[in-house]
Amino acid sequence: MASIQIKTPSAEYTVTLGSGLLRTLRQRIQRALGGGTLPRVFFITSQEIWAKWSDRATESFDGATVLFVPPGERFKRLPTVERLLEELARAGADRDSVIIAFGGGVIGDMAGFIAAIYMRGIRCVQVPTTLLAQVDSSVGGKTGANLAAGKNLVGSFHHPIAVISDVDVLSTLPKQELRAGLQESVKSGIIRDARLFAYLEKNAKAVLRGDTKALAYVVERSVRVKADVVNQDERESGLRMILNFGHTIGHAIEAATNYKQLLHGEAIGWGMIAAVRLAQARGAIAEKDAQRIVKLAHVYGPLPRFTATAEKLVRLSASDKKNRGGARRFILPTGIGTVEIVKDVTEEELLAACEQMLGEVKRARR
């Protein structure tokens, strides 16, 4: 079992990673609350996740209220948030209540956002059940929902009081979801951890077959990357932007395909490739490193084909949250384990990178 500390100016909590953690969920939440009587607990989850794991998650609870969310990015919208808020109120949730976000990234983001705004803020525990959520979205306090204009354009920073990641739940993940989640770990290696990147290269077979030891290593190294960045830059004023490597075009791909053709990690995989092509055009990265990045993104694929135009992707990327004062900001890889934040990417450069990436999409296997 591993414990990783998040220490920011506004919050301090522990990310616990290991096997068999769901059976001790109540005790761990009670410890995070400082002991005493456990207040009212509200799980926000999906029917599918609840059917698989509720017995383990609730066996140490005397009782809990469960609120359900349909699966899928298209439900990460304000109408869903409002419905859940109404259900909380009708069920008697008060300011002492605790929300448990029990699911993947969509559930974690929405449940965290609901905790941030219900009665002006109540406590939340993140219990991620997908690889993507364990390595990335459950850590750092970002919460939110999507608008028609773009992804995560409404939200709040609201840190959980604990993150409890049981790697056992990854055993039931569909292979496609496992592979998509691993793109976020590839990202972590690219931006800040060359050792993790090399591990993913050398141990791809073990990781992809779901080897518990291999996955536990990948999750821990990925979380340590994010924790290190968040501890230095809580609210994305500078350094934390690097965590969005691949996401500018990745989010645009998701929006262009109405969140129906690709999983989030798959879109990020293509977004990373577009960023590599832009870096190559600028001479910012050595050819050998560029080839390693693109190859690894495909190893943890196969990245699916999709239909979009370069013009549409560039237009949709204009609403990216990293942009400031009309300037287009972009995260470019400069090597394995290093990236840079650039502020002068032109529309023409981005268009060319997207066109190159889309050419590769047409040649993809699926």
The CATH number given to whatever domain includes residue 151 is 3.40.50.1970
Whats the size of the chain, residue-wise?
366
Q: Give the pLDDT score at 267.
A: 97
Let me know whether 183 and 260 are in one domain: yes
* Domain range for 102: 2-170
Number of domains in the chain: 2
Let me know whether 259 and 146 are in one domain: no
Last residue of a domain, one of 170, 187, 210: 170
Distance between CA atoms of residues 22 and 18, nearest Å: 10
Q: Give the pLDDT score at 35.
A: 84
Last residue of a domain, one of 170, 187, 220: 170
Let me know whether 125 and 210 are in one domain: no
Let me know whether 22 and 125 are in one domain: yes
Let me know whether 193 and 320 are in one domain: yes
Going by C-alpha positions, the residue among 164, 127, 128 that lies closest to residue 14 is 164
Let me know whether 190 and 240 are in one domain: yes
pLDDT in tens, the chain (366 residues): 899 999 999 999 999 999 999 999 999 999 999 988 889 999 999 999 999 999 998 876 778 899 999 988 889 999 999 999 999 999 999 999 999 999 999 999 999 999 999 999 999 999 999 999 999 999 999 999 999 888 889 999 999 999 999 999 999 999 999 999 999 999 999 999 999 999 999 999 999 999 989 999 999 999 999 999 999 998 887 899 999 999 999 999 999 999 889 999 999 999 999 999 999 999 999 999 999 999 999 999 999 999 999 999 999 998 765 555 556 789 999 999 999 999 999 999 999 999 999 999 999 876
Encoding tokens for residue 357?
A: 């990436």
Token look-up 């009782």 returns 63
5 contact partners, CB below 8 Å, separation of at least 6: 12, 13, 14, 15, 227
Let me know whether 138 and 258 are in one domain: no
Q: Which residues are catalytic?
A: 120, 142, 184, 226, 236, 240, 244, 247, 251, 264
pTM for this structure?
0.90
Let me know whether 150 and 70 are in one domain: yes
Last residue of a domain, one of 170, 188, 222: 170
